[in-house]
Structure formats: C-alpha cells, structure tokens
Amino acid sequence: MIVGRQIRAARALLDMSQDELAEAAGLTPQAIRKIEGGDVQPREGTIADITRAFNDRGLEFTENSGVRLKSDGVEIFEGPDRFDAFYDFLYEHLKTKGGEVCLSITDERLLSKYRKNPTVHYKRMQDLSDRGVIKKFRILATKSNFASDFPYNLYKWQPDTSLAPTAFYTFGDCLALISFVHTPAPYVVVLHSAPLADSYRQAFNIAWDAAKAPPQKDSKKGNTDDKF
C-alpha cells in the first residue's frame, strides 16, 4: 500500500497541489492532508482513487515507497468516463512541457458531445495560453462551428476529407489518436514518442498550409452552413 510520503513525492514530481489531487481523486483536501500526514489509515478504495489519479497523469508508484514516470510509452483512455481523464492528462502535460498544440479532427462537435464539462477544458487552455505556456493552439476541422468564446485557438477548414470520426492531437512529446467508432467511444491512445509526435506535426503543418479559412457564419441562420 502506498504511503503518505509517496503521495507527497508524486505531487511534487507533477507540480500538483493537494487541492488538485483531491479534485482528481474525488476526495476532499482535508482527506489528502490527513493521508499524507499519516493521521488516518485510508481504505483500499481511497488508495485506488489516488493511484488512478496519478496513473492518469503518467505517474506510477513503485516498490520501496518510490514513484516514477511511466516508461511504457502508452496511455489508453477508453469510454466516456475516461475522456475527461484524457483532457486532465493533456492539461498536466502542457503545464510541464508547454509549446504548441495541433488538433486535426473530422467533426469537432464530437469532443463536446463526450466531455462532461467542456468549459473547464476551454478555461484551462485559455489560462495556459494567457500565461505563455501554450505558444499556439491550432485546430484543423472538417465539421465545426469554427467559433469559440475563448480566443486561444486558431481554426482552419479542411473540406471534403475522409469523414471517418477520428482525430489526433500533438502536444509536447505526445501523440494522441482518437476513435469515435470504438465501443465504448471515445477510444484514446496516447503515445509518448517525440519522433511520432514530430512526424504527425509535420503532416499537420502541410495540411494546415493547404487548408482554407473557416466558412463564414450565415447571419440569418446564426451559424455556418449545415454541410460544414
């Protein structure tokens, strides 16, 4: 069973506060403080929730009271209940690595369909952008509203491409591949591979240069043309 000093070390490695861990694990900050201080003996279910929160962020506990970043290079987030965990992972990775984010997707509306609270994601990305952590966030989409209340993202339109409900992200040294046809959807595979991320980023840049400006809104309809 993990011990309090492991949890403290894990938080330090991820630059994660007690409040952030409490939210990720579905616990209270007071509970986290007591567990870390050795004031209480947590239940197995509580330990499982804490372990899951760290695993989702690419960290694992080892024998002899140690912690380490996962070295297997692959993270899988399967189903709607795990989709928000993927965005937590994205956020935590960007907090540390920063840089540029590229998103290529056939139908951007699928992201909001499966996220429980898209606004949380938008606000976190905007905060990282405002602080200069995210240098650029580009979205290449076939179907989208091509608009946002948050100015951190840049859009381009890629018309008449394969309409398979898929997407990929590149961020930091990671590549995330997303399928919306797998059951249960969505199915996300994150590969910790700088060469693969760079390859997809280069392909994205080529497609971005060839893409078009987003379709303009129809003032009468208040939205873009339905075919978009």
- Residue 220 in any domain: the answer is no
**Is it the case that residue 102 has pLDDT exceeding 80?**
yes
**Reduced 3-state DSSP string for the chain:** CCCHHHHHHHHHHHCCCHHHHHHHHCCCHHHHHHHHHCCCCCCHHHHHHHHHHHHCCCEEEECCCEEEECCCCEEEEECHHHHHHHHHHHHHHHHHHCEEEEEEEEECHHHHHHCCCHHHHHHHHHHHHHCCCEEEEEEEEEECCCCCCCCCEEEEECCCCCCCCEEEEEECCEEEEEECCCCCCCEEEEEECHHHHHHHHHHHHHHHHHCECCCCCECCCCECCCCC
Same domain, 113 and 197: yes
How many structural domains are present in the chain? 2
Same domain, 33 and 129: no
Same domain, 34 and 87: no
**Is it the case that residue 221 has pLDDT exceeding 50?**
no
Residues 171 and 98 sit within 8 Å (Cβ to Cβ): no
* Ramachandran assignment for 172, one of left (phi > 0), alpha (psi -120 to 50 degrees), beta (any other): left
Q: State pLDDT tens for residues 30-47.
A: 999 999 999 999 999 999
What pLDDT does residue 19 have?
96
Alpha-carbon span 191 to 73, nearest angstrom: 6
- Per-range mean pLDDT, top range of 98-107, 139-148, 150-159: 98-107
Between 18-25 and 4-14, two packed helices, what is the crossing angle to 10 degrees? 100
Same domain, 158 and 49: no
Q: What's 162's domain CATH number?
A: 3.30.870.10
- Residue 199 in any domain: the answer is yes
- Residue 116 in any domain: the answer is yes
**Is it the case that residue 48 has pLDDT exceeding 80?**
yes
Q: What is the pTM of this model?
A: 0.65
**Is it the case that residue 159 has pLDDT exceeding 80?**
no
- Domain edge (last residue) among 16, 37, 69: 69
What pLDDT does residue 71 have?
58
Same domain, 34 and 82: no
163 confidence band (pLDDT: 50, 70, 90) = low
Same domain, 64 and 132: no
Residue range of the domain that includes 47? 4-69
Same domain, 175 and 86: yes
* Ramachandran assignment for 61, one of left (phi > 0), alpha (psi -120 to 50 degrees), beta (any other): beta
Residues 179 and 186 sit within 8 Å (Cβ to Cβ): yes
Measured CA distances, 185 to 82, 83, 139, 175 (Å): 10, 9, 21, 18
What pLDDT does residue 60 have?
82
- Residue 17 in any domain: the answer is yes
Lowest mean pLDDT among 1-10, 17-26, 138-147, 160-169: 160-169
- Residue 217 in any domain: the answer is no
- Give the residue with greater pLDDT, 100 vs 12: 100
Write down the mean pLDDT value for the chain. 86
